[in-house]
Structure 1
Amino acid sequence: MTPYENFTFFIYLLIPLVPAVLLGILGATGRVRAAWILLSTLGMLQYIARPLDVLYQIVGYLLFQWILVRLYLAYRSRENGKNQVGVFYLMIVLSILPLVGVKLNPSVIALGFWQTVIGFIGISYLTFRTVGIIIEIRDGLIKDIRFLDFISFVLFFPTLASGPIDRYRRFITDLYKPLTRQEYGDLAVHGLDYIFRGFLYKFIIAYLINKYWLDPLNHAFGFLPTFQYMYAYSFYLFFDFAGYSAFAIGVSYLLGIKTPENFDKPFISKNIKDFWNRWHISLSFWFRDYIYMRFVLDSAKKKRFRNRYTAPYVGYFLLFGIMGLWHGIDLRYILYGLYHAGLMISFDFLDRKNRTWKFWGKGPMWDLLAILVTLHFVMFGFLIFSGRLV
């Protein structure tokens, strides 16, 4: 069962949310709320992870990742284990191995009298969370992890399927943070606002776009239908995904967890860098912090490149190449990643040249033009992502 896809799911949501609201109103301690979040996560997992073999896969995956985390924590606690980079990379490879296997070969295997597809909904986002933990252990930011906290963080049911992607230390701080009635009340009001926004985005706007604009274009071909499809698909993708994210954030707030924002008016971005600070924020910031910045800083430290712009440009191809492959190994995803790497490099180059050539001015009209230009470059990227051109 995919979360937030139908109204039946919201009926089931009342089971964990009603007690959570009562605990918040009564001013329950952080430990009591944390215990309820754990129980709610385990309970909702049995509903989301259907059929039963999917639940077995998730449990097996969780135990595998937990063993990796504990082994690496034990290794890092040893004096000679603090500077061994090879073990760190080995742990990263092992952690992403299940995801790589699913992306490359979603096999079907026989289990008794039935068959199952290897892989389950949300495995990508679970992998981000566990890899983030391993990286922060390497950085010395995480010294120890309790198994129950690990479960609550990795399997946190409001964000299980498609994020937003949280960070372990921030999540645990919220998990045990004591909230007064007033503080919880403010959080709950914001949570309800997110949930109503989710209904507006996903079940009204996205539904209408898909039914009356996008779907008819699926059967029309040629330049003009494809041009219209670019707009329809882009707006549908935003409202559908932003609606899902609003639901996830709103439910998290009702549980007392301030899950990070995922969208911030991305279609008014003035350039492509601004867009990636507004679109799928938790994902883009995760890739930025854990891949791009580390590559650039390590390249500077080891003096890999003579030209100071080479490292960030190679970093963009690494960043967006991996992001494209994360979506899948189809050609459209690879092209989408390379396209955005090219956009980032092109913008950086033109932005630097503009300081001397002055071909782009400042002011409201220039800002409006920048928004329109950026919007169309972004939407063309979504057209590539949709597979319509490939």
Structure 2
Amino acid sequence: MEFDLSWLLLGLPLAFVLGWLASRFDLRQLRLENRQAPKAYFKGLNFLLNEQQDKAIDAFIEAVQKDPDTSELHFALGNLFRRRGEYERAVRVHEHLLSRGDLSVDDRHRAQHALALDFLKAGLLDRAEAALQKLEGSRFEEQSRLALLSIYERSRDWPHAAAIAKKLEASAQGTFSGRMAHYLCEEAATLQAAGQPAEAQQRLEQAIAIAPQSPRPRFDLAHLFNKTGRPQEAFDTLLTIAQAAPNAMPLAAKMLANTGQQVNRQAEALSVLEASYQQFPSLDVLEAIVSMAGDTPAEIKSARLRYAQHLDHEKSLVAAARWIAGETLQHEEFHPQVQRALDHATKPLTRYRCAACGFEAKQHFWQCPGCQAWDSYPARRVEEL
């Protein structure tokens, strides 16, 4: 059987035409898909800019379905889920990214960091800690350390918090000596509650060495000395606060006055309080001075007059109420009602307020219960701010 060359001549052009048509169809389909994916992406971006997160999520899901290999869309979708509080869906997105073999090292670290944030926002601290520890040596190292510091503080794991704080300080991320002093004070409080005052004193002395300008270690050490029957050492420790942290004297004033009277060093205590009041007029310091007045009517009246004199340089309703409480009014029969009204009005003014979040409390906190910030409570009352 002879091969007919005419079929070959007819078949080659036909194959070329069919191949050209097939390529055109593939290109047209590819262009269509490429148009649809960016359209869904930009639609989602538009919804996001207009704060329509539900519609933005739907658009991004559509874009991901059409192009499942696009990592940026996955990151955007996962972050949106986290912002909406849908942590389980955010975790699934970021775990899917980490399971991909074609992901670059930098994107893998990025997905790991996003996954850690998902766990952190969901309150799964142990899983967040494990995820963050895998980021050592990556470009997210410093961010992961800050997050780990927050985790250890929330879980009151002070030794681990101190270790992270040292790393952050070594990498020039700021000064963490004040925080490390607080960690030692927290450890000291735990040891003191467990009946180990010697170990607690050791921690507090370490805290003073780390942060000499921090008032809390000295304040806590004075409390420890008082509780263990060493008032002389407590008084000497309180005196150092006036030198190391004069702004904190309002917090120590009452204890200084009481301890000074207990160890018969009233004159020394009064001298320190007067000097503090002259430098930073404070109602707490003034009340400590008034409490050290003698027992005679003349001494008591002279001391109470200090409240009225305080009004010369401080517009204090609290001081006015304190002064009126010891005065005889023209219509004395109405004094109790007037005094109750004044005390009620001044009660909010005697609170402490966090400078970071505005959380108010009756007592002074070294760490805000609201925003967890350290040293955010000034030593002065709301009225004096």
Report if TM-score (shorter chain) is over 0.5: no
Structure number with the bigger relative contact order (C-alpha 8 A, sep ≥ 6) is 1
TM range (shorter): under 0.3
- In terms of Rg, which structure is larger? 2
